[in-house]
Amino acid sequence: MLVIVAPGQGAQTPGFLQPWLEDPTFAARFDWLSTVAGVDLAHYGTEGDAEQIRDTRIAQPLLVATGLVAALELFPHPADAFDKIGAVTGHSVGEIAAAAGARTITAEQAMVLVRERGNAMAAAADATPTGMTAVLGGDREEVLATLERHGVVAANDNGPGQLVAAGTLEQLDALAADPPAKAKLRPLSVAGAFHTEHMAPAVDHVARLARSVSVHDPRTPFISNRDGQAVHDGTDVLRRIVGQIARPVRWDLCLETMADLGVTGILEMPPAGTLTGIAKRYFRGQGVETFALDSPDQLDAARDFCEQHGEASTIDSTPTWRMVVSPAKGVFHRDEAAADADALEAGVPIGSVASLRDRIPVTAAHGGQVVEWLVEDGDPVSPGQPLLRLHPLGAA
């Protein structure tokens, strides 16, 4: 089973876009998305120095545009992708690229959103000098206790031994002077304390704009940074992407969901290497292969990788707006009222999924006539598994 992942801010390096732009088709598509974003992204991706492309206003649209155009190089006929991709996800701003790849939003909507996201986050970062520091190794509980003592937030939880602390520069300096035992600290080349309360003004700005964005349910399960849930409602995908600006990225839970889905191959879109590196450590010895697509001369090998691991997601064979799917691995408990209903209103509960970690309510986001239940009360379910088939009320 294949999962496509898109990297977040910090993955960019000077000149990384140069080989991609040698393809005239890539260059033309990239120019179009740059025009939508209102930024000369080709210039920054080829000639920008490390400090220039560190700027949030540049880095975020640069990463999303690269991922979107590279996806069209990987899958020249986009519909073919859904016969192979089991799930998609992205780290931080990579979620926007993943949402566009899953057809929840268009590429143009993605570029407007990421432009405004980057501008708003940069403005929020300018208000108070803040930053982020990777904390590698050490005892997890001791690391978290040390972060709390210094008033910094675990803004990214990337898996065992890989946390990212965020806070004011003074707080991060104090952490550097008094680090957790047996942990290494590495300051990150980012412009602010992303995924913390410092970004609240950016959430407000992007949320206002997002009210006018039309969405579709994803064509394949979208694994959310918020809690690792496999999300299948387009409105919820967009809401989570907006809220994630000021919430910690739980990449560790995204990895758990990939494991629950039975992933065998993870392909990272360019500029690649960061997320596949994390996945190699997390899935060591479990038979999960990774592919870091970092150069156009790898495209044929990447297509072979997709053929090897690809299988259609369980939700692609039926119009997605008629399905209710499981958000996580666990045991499904059906709501008694829903079980007896012939039709369901939008937003009503149909049950819950109980996992070892929590109990997640499941609702019929769109409502409709009950066609068939695809699981019984007490059945084990996996992320993205269809639970209930609905026919829209009033449809012929």
Active-site residue list: 92, 195
Q: What is the DSSP string of 98-133?
A: HHHHTTSS-HHHHHHHHHHHHHHHHHHHHHS-EEEE
Burial grade of 145 (CB within 10 A; 0-12, 13-18, 19 or more) = exposed
CA pair distance 103, 106, nearest whole angstrom? 6
The residue written with tokens 């937030």 in the block is: 153
| Pair of tokens at residue 281 | 């450590």
Q: In Å, how far from its chain's centre is CA 179?
A: 30
Question: For residue 22, what are its two tokens?
Answer: 């040698």
Q: First CA to last CA across the chain, in angstroms?
A: 36
Pair type for strands 289-292 and 265-268: parallel
Whole-angstrom distance, CA of residue 65 vs CA of residue 96: 10
Instruction: Give the phi and the psi of residue 222 in degrees, each rounded to 5.
Output: -105, 115
Q: Where are the beta strands (DSSP E) in the chain?
A: 2-6, 85-90, 130-137, 153-157, 162-168, 183-187, 222-223, 230-231, 265-268, 289-292, 323-325, 330-334, 343-344, 348-354, 359-364, 368-373, 380-381, 386-391
Q: CA-CA distance, 22 to 360, in Å (whole number)?
A: 47
The Cα–Cα gap between 175 and 145 comes to 11
